[in-house]
Structure 1
Amino acid sequence: MAGAGFGYGPAFRGLRAAWRRGDEVFAEVALPEGTEGAGFGLHPALFDACLHGFALAGSEGEAGGVPFAWEEVSLHAAGASAVRVRLTRTAAG
């Protein structure tokens, strides 16, 4: 991300692992030690780090992009300090 001109502070560097399976991207994301998730449905830094998985969400050899519209988003617990996400794109991109 830094090579693309994005500078992130320590709280926003939570992407721990990401992998692809076809058109799906899976990611493991965690807040850094000492950053509390309590008080948020989803901590903003944790949510932002989930979006970093979209760097892998394009087609093979094609860069992904950050979405501006969301559908079928589910939050199953509040106050988490670590999450796993599954990212997919619609046919319209």
Structure 2
Amino acid sequence: MEPRTAPPMTDLDDILDGLRARPAPPALAAIGDGVMHGLAVRREAGTARRGMMMALGIAAVVGVVGSIAPATPAQAEPLFGVPSGAPSHLLTD
């Protein structure tokens, strides 16, 4: 078997005309679905990544603001006790 030799570059227009005249391979018709599926997967991954980064940023801001803001001391009161503003409570004190 003889090795194939490349045609000279001066025949490039003739080669391209020959390719244009030939029908496209059937595998090329199905390639669009694969490409569009791959793009959709990448778009979903990017959306998920942006959402996670936004949640991380919000959590960081809330954490920093919460640690910087002055906290008031906690005051525990009985759950079912007499409210501090009730007349009976005011009379006993």
What TM-score does the superposition give when structure 1 sets the normalisation length?
0.19
Question: Larger % of strand: which?
Answer: 1
Question: Larger % of helix: which?
Answer: 2
Greater RCO, CA 8 A, separation 6+:
1
What TM-score does the superposition give when structure 2 sets the normalisation length?
0.19
